[in-house]
Every structure is written in structure tokens, then in C-alpha cells.
Amino acid sequence: MTCDEFQAAYLEGAEDDTTRAHLDGCAACRTRLPSLQAGRTVMADPAVWEEPSPELGEQVAMLLQGATKPPEKAKWPVRTMVGVAAVAALLLLVVAVVALRNDAPDWTVDIAGTDQAPLAMGTIEGWATSNGTRMVLNIDGLDPAPDGYFYELWLSRGPIHVSAGTFTATDDVVVWSGVPRRDYPRLWITLEAIDEDESPSPTTVMDTQTG
Amino acid sequence: MNARLMKRFRSGDPDAARDLYDAYGRAVFAVAYRALGDRSLAEEAVQQTFLQAWRAAGRFDPDREPGPWLYAIARRVAVDVYRRERRHLATDEEPEVALLPPSFEATWEAWEVRLALDQIPDDEQTILRATHYLGLTHEETAERLGIPIGTVKSRSYRAHRRMAELLSHLKEASA
């Protein structure tokens, strides 16, 4: 059985001695297994097979025709754009030099969305100060918390979880922690209801330890 | 091709809106239908998704792939529709719940599978539908379609091989 044959058979639903034998001896197909499993599961979902009404496309087209036209970007003269670009580049250079000299983070860690927020991704930068660890969250793809909820960043060492702060949207989030990251290596973000429970909720939306 | 399409969409070309719907409409519908489990709510979400995309198109970089952007809008719209419906149904005994139900999980996978299916030739897609949606065996499929079972098997193999390739990025192995 070739890899192509195994993957086609597995995706179709076959799990017999032949496919198991191939899988046992093929590291490449074992790597592909999570994708094949996810694909097989979702292909059984009626949602991917149901067709929208034939007239829906026309309804969408009519809806958009009656809606406000999207604003086009302003067209600036080329000379103005070149000047603005030159000034911006100079400013960026200055900012970068200053940042590199004075404000480079002591550490940076990637954080990824879980199944609860599959498009979320970003980094957390940390600065060790005499007041504790200052952290800046640079996150894209995480929707603002719904009404009655907020996000909370946690630092964890095994079962010990220390909250580093809360926020509702990911623009310009700066939080502080009284414990050093080197002792609390896992950083993760939960969605929390506004209630009396101060422990982490089971709804983890982002984590530095994924996969 | 997508960059040209998105430049036209951004400039307000109605034909581009229709082209974008033709390319992504079924995937948007799959996300909404999976999340909401209701055809009419899902179709409402599809309309809202394209309307929001149309209004936000001026801020979209046409050199980027529109798929992830549209998916994000579709999922957010589905969340809004779900919460609106929950508010209507909320009672004192069963208050509004803000947490999303399990149907909102794996919407990205549904999006990817639907887009992959759109790239499969119709005759092979028919076999996939018979296998995964209708739950038919090769023999039953051959009988229903009036074609030899060997044809069903060869089309099934080609279709699943293509799908395996198209979905290879769906989930990374944790190992």
C-alpha cells in the first residue's frame, strides 16, 4: 500500500489490517493522520454538503447594490506619497534605534489560538522590572470578549496559576505579573465570566503550549 | 486572480461581489450552517457576511488571500446571529448564555473542507457525497448512479486522494 492509497483509504473511512500496517511503518502518514482524521470527521457533517438556495447569490448581489459603496482609498500625488514615505521611514528608523537601545523586551513568546479561537495568534513580550514583569500582548484574530465576559492572562507552573491581568479587547494590552516568567513558563488566556469564581475557567482561547 | 478580484471588489464593482460569492458563498454557508444549524439563519448570516465584507473592503489589502478574512467575518456574524437568537429565547429559568455551543467548534475545518470540495470535479464530488453524506456503499452508489462499480471505486480513489492532498494543512501533527 502506497502513501497515496493509505491516505485515500483512511479519508474514506477504512481502518483495517492493511491500513494499520501501513501506518505502523510510515512516519509520513502518521504525521498526516490529524489532518485526515479532521477531514474525515468534517466530511460527515451535513453542513459541508448542504447547498444554499439557488437565489441566495442574487439576493446577496441585490443587497450589496443597495448598500453603501465601500470607500476607496484616497489617491495622493506621487510626490506627496514619496515625501510621506521618506519621513515615515526616517521616523521608523529612529523609533527602531531607540527601541533597540532602550526598550527591547527581555523575552518574547509566541501564543496561539485554541479551537475556541482558531484564528488568534500573536506574541507576548516581557520586561523584568523592579516592580514585577511588564507584559505587552500583540495579538491578532481574537474577537472582543462578549458582554458579561472578559479575557484573563495566566502564568502557570504545573497546577499553580497566577493571574497577570484582564482585558476585553486585544488593542494595546499591557499587563503586569508579580511572578517571574522563568518560574512560570506557561502563559495562557481564558475567557472568564464576570462572577465570584476567581479560578481559571475551562475556556482557554490562547496558549503558549499548543499542539 | 484573487488580487484582481479583490481590487475590483474594493472599488465597488458589483460583478466582483458576485464573483466573490461564487468562489466563497458555499464555504460561508457551510460555516454558518454548521454553527447555527438552521438554514434560514445560515442564509441570513451569508448575506450579512458579504455585506460586512463589502463595507470593510476599503481596508482590505487586495494582495492578501480573501479566504481567511471572509471566514473571520462569517464566524463573527454567526456568533452575532446566535447571540441574538439566544436573547429572544432567554427566560428567567434559562437565562442567556454567552458561551458558544459545540457547533461553533471546527467551523474552520468545515470552511476548508467545503473549499476543497469546490475544487473536486463534479463526477468525483458525487461519489464523495454518496459516501460521506448519504452513507452509501460502493455497490449502492453504483446502483443508484447506474454506473459500473469499478468506475465508482476509481472515482472514489481519485476523489479521496485529491481531498487528502487539499486538506494536508488542516491540522498539524502534535508529535
CATH number of the domain residue B33 falls in:
1.10.1740.10
Q: What's the grid cell of residue B150?
A: 469499478
Question: When comparing pLDDT for A47 and A87, which is higher?
Answer: A47
What percent of chain A shows pLDDT beyond 90? 26
Instruction: Classify residue A79 as exposed, middle or buried by CB count within 10 Å of its CB (0-12, 13-18, 19+).
Output: exposed
CA gap B152, B129 in Å, rounded: 12
Q: How confident is the model at residue B161, as a pLDDT?
A: 94
Q: Do B108 and A45 touch (CB under 8 A)?
A: no
Q: How confident is the model at residue B174, as a pLDDT?
A: 37
Q: How confident is the model at residue B102, as a pLDDT?
A: 85
Q: Is residue B131 part of a domain?
A: yes
**Which of B26, B39, B55 lies closest to A67 in CB terms?**
B55
Q: How confident is the model at residue A14, as a pLDDT?
A: 86
Q: Is residue B26 part of a domain?
A: yes
**Which of A46, A59, A118 lies closest to B133 in CB terms?**
A46
Which among A36, A59, A52 has a CA at the least distance from the CA of B24? A52
Closest residue in chain A to residue B42, using alpha carbons only: A52
Q: How confident is the model at residue A77, as a pLDDT?
A: 58
Q: Do A13 and B131 touch (CB under 8 A)?
A: yes
- Which residues in B lie closer than 8 A to residue A61 (C-beta atoms)? 14, 17-18, 21
- Based on the fold, state whether residues B85 and B131 are members of the same structural domain: no
Q: Is residue B35 part of a domain?
A: yes
Q: Which of the listed residues B103, B128, B163 is the one where a domain comes to its end?
A: B103
Q: Which of the listed residues B71, B103, B135 is the one where a domain comes to its end?
A: B103
Q: How confident is the model at residue A92, as a pLDDT?
A: 77
Closest residue in chain A to residue B158, using alpha carbons only: A8
Q: Do A70 and B50 touch (CB under 8 A)?
A: no
How far B72 CA sits from the closest chain A CA (Å)?
8
- Based on the fold, state whether residues B92 and B172 are members of the same structural domain: no
- Which residues in A lie closer than 8 A to residue B76 (C-beta atoms)? 143
**Which of B18, B39, B56 lies closest to A57 in CB terms?**
B18
First to last CA, chain A: 29
Closest residue in chain B to residue A31, using alpha carbons only: B173
- Which residues in A lie closer than 8 A to residue B68 (C-beta atoms)? 119
Name the most confidently modeled range: A92-96, A103-107, A139-143: A139-143
What is the phi/psi pair of residue B155, to 5°?
Answer: -65, -40
A209 pLDDT tier (thresholds 50, 70, 90): confident
- Which residues in B lie closer than 8 A to residue A115 (C-beta atoms)? 105-106
Q: Which of the listed residues B103, B128, B158 is the one where a domain comes to its end?
A: B103
Please state at what angle helix B14-36 crosses helix B66-89, rounded to 10 degrees: 50
- Based on the fold, state whether residues B92 and B168 are members of the same structural domain: no
Query: What are the distances in angstroms from CA A68 to CA A57, B14, B54, B58?
Result: 18, 12, 8, 12
Closest residue in chain B to residue A72, using alpha carbons only: B58
Is B138's pLDDT higher than 60?
A: yes
- Based on the fold, state whether residues B90 and B131 are members of the same structural domain: no
Q: How confident is the model at residue B14, as a pLDDT?
A: 82
Is A48's pLDDT higher than 70?
A: yes
How far A175 CA sits from the closest chain B CA (Å)?
25
Tell me how many domains chain B contains. Answer: 2
Q: Is residue B68 part of a domain?
A: yes
**Which of B68, B79, B133 lies closest to A49 in CB terms?**
B133
Reduced 3-state DSSP string for A135-179 = EEEEEECCCCCCCCEEEEEEEEECCEEEEEEEECCCCCEEEEECC
Interface mutation target, options A3, A26, A64, A121, chain B, most CBs of B under 10 Å: A64
Q: Tens digits of per-residue pLDDT, A148-174? A: 888 999 998 888 888 898 988 887 788
**Which of B30, B110, B164 lies closest to A8 in CB terms?**
B164
Q: Is residue B93 part of a domain?
A: yes
Angle at CA of residue B7, ends B3 and B13, nearest 5°: 130
Is B146's pLDDT higher than 50?
A: yes
Closest residue in chain A to residue B49, using alpha carbons only: A60
Q: Do A49 and B50 touch (CB under 8 A)?
A: no
Bridge partners of A134? A127, A176
Q: Tens digits of per-residue pLDDT, B103-135? A: 888 899 999 999 999 999 999 999 999 999 999
CB A50 within 8 A of CB B39: yes
Q: Tens digits of per-residue pLDDT, B74-98? A: 998 998 899 888 776 656 555 555 5
Q: How confident is the model at residue B133, as a pLDDT?
A: 93
Q: What is the ipTM of this complex?
A: 0.86
How far A59 CA sits from the closest chain B CA (Å)?
8
Q: Tens digits of per-residue pLDDT, B20-69? A: 999 999 999 999 999 999 999 999 999 999 999 988 888 888 888 899 99
**Structural domain that includes position B47:** 2-103
Q: Tens digits of per-residue pLDDT, A6-18? A: 999 999 988 888 9
Is B136's pLDDT higher than 80?
A: yes
Q: Do B83 and A146 touch (CB under 8 A)?
A: yes
Q: How confident is the model at residue B62, as a pLDDT?
A: 83
Which among B59, B48, B54 has a CA at the least distance from the CA of B12? B54
Q: Is residue B138 part of a domain?
A: yes
Least confident of A70-79, A98-107, B11-20, B134-143: A70-79
CA gap A155, B53 in Å, rounded: 37
